[in-house]
Amino acid sequence: MGRPSALRRRLPQVFAALSATLGGFSLGAVLGWTSPAVKPLMKEGLSDETVSWLAGVTPLGALAAMLAAAVLLDRVGRRRALLATAPPFVAGWLLLAFCRHPAALLAGRFVTGFCGGAFSTAAPVYIGEIAENDIRGALGVCYQLMLTGGILYVYVVGKWATLVWLSVVCAIPPIVFFMLFFFMPESPIFLLSKERHEEAIRALHWFRGGDEADITDELLETEQVVTEMLKRTGSLWDMFRSRAAARALGIGMGLQVAQQLSGVIIIIFFSVPIFVAAGTSMDPSDCAIVVGAVQVGSTLLSTVLVERAGRRVWLVLSLSSMGTCLVLLGIYFHYHDHTRVPVAGISWLPLLAMCTYLLTCSLGIGPLPWAMIGELFPGEIKGIASSICGGTNWILCFIVSKTFTNMVDAFGTDVTFWIYGGTCFGATTWVFFFVIETRNKSLAQIQKELEGVS
């Protein structure tokens, strides 16, 4: 039999990546749930402080997942770690659906945050290890596509559904994920690291289109990578002491810091309250749906564009554009809140600015930090390093989401947006000078560049 066609060779990778990223869809539902839930929860008597904790406790759950993932990814494998999150995910949503005591609601948000955080660590690692070089970036962006789809899903359902049905409907994606991903093979790199050679060959054949696929060169390169990885395995300090590992960790953590300090979680968590405060002429829930749809569409576009230009190009364009949008939002709120200058004629500005913000976010700083987790790190530290990067992200996510209302009270909405706009411009400069390009490079080539070897 002849070699499989390019389409047939890639379909299994695409299907496996999409199955894994259904967890991203579930995480998107977790992140978006706060926006439509705030108003009905407050009508039921929950205080502003409790509602803010319902937003803030989710990143804490995700942070706890980072600690678990650091161990589980390298011990039980990427596949089993992902599958294990589905049952508690469903249980967390049922808590949010049928319990109204604040403690139960906080527990439900913590559990769903934990499971979503586990996905955000394990899925990019899995995708980065199963994908071919020329489509690895696009498949990595699929995770962000699913995440934004989950946010839109909640915005749309939340406009018409009660909190009970909103949470019940959110329990469906983890069930679908488990049913599909159960049949996916484990990462060949993980199997080789555990000396399960025959299983690794079968998995690599499956991901490359069948038994007739020529995997000789790729298998040899992967075995060399794993051999070097096992040689370097030692204490935590020894593993991070190399120049490549240290630079990869600095870039990985820096990208997560840039993502969260750009203020993106504010737009996702508080889109409806922001539109209410802005006094837009459209219904705030409709505005949130428009914003969510723009985010999904732009992320879908990024899956096509991410391999057309380098990662650094999209990151620089993304962060600089987002900073400009936040400055414009700050100007609008300055005149809306502090002056008598009429803004009714430009009530469309917040919607345009937030849509443009999420459009450019989805082309760069939204998906690429997660996609690059699967590219930057050598195998022996991939589990712990991805957990450190994910933990950095979720710590900042908690800080940003929990302090947003406090910053607005202390400084005003205008200054708050200007602060986050300034961090976007600062992050743009850092990316330009310190982030390496990974587009169309093998994992081995990326490690050589990080090490400074030409």
Farthest-apart Cα atoms in the chain, separation: 77
**Tokens encoding 285:** 């829930």
Domain harbouring 30, CATH code: 1.20.1250.20
Q: Rounded to an integer, what distance in angstroms lies between the CA atom of residue 284 and that of residue 271?
A: 8
Q: Rounded to an integer, what distance in angstroms lies between the CA atom of residue 312 and that of residue 446?
A: 14
Tens-place pLDDT, residues 335-348: 877 776 656 667 77
Tens-place pLDDT, residues 357-386: 888 888 889 888 877 877 888 766 776 787
416's CB contacts (< 8 A; 6+ apart) are: 330, 404, 407, 408
86-98 and 163-170 are packed helices; what angle lies between their axes, rounded to 10 degrees?
170
In this structure, is residue 130 part of a structural domain? yes
* Alpha-helix runs per DSSP H in 279-412: 284-305, 311-338, 349-363, 368-376, 382-411
**Tokens encoding 344:** 């009714």
In this structure, is residue 194 part of a structural domain? no
In this structure, is residue 341 part of a structural domain? yes
Tens-place pLDDT, residues 280-289: 666 777 777 8
b/e code 78-95 from CB counts within 10 Å (16+ = b): bbebbbbbbeebbbbbbb
The model's pTM: 0.74
In this structure, is residue 195 part of a structural domain? no
**pLDDT confidence bin for 423, thresholds 50/70/90:** very high
Domain count across the chain? 1
In this structure, is residue 206 part of a structural domain? no
In this structure, is residue 189 part of a structural domain? no
Tens-place pLDDT, residues 33-72: 887 887 788 788 777 778 778 877 888 888 888 778 767 8
In this structure, is residue 228 part of a structural domain? no
In this structure, is residue 136 part of a structural domain? yes
> Whole domain around residue 100: which residue ranges?
6-184+233-451
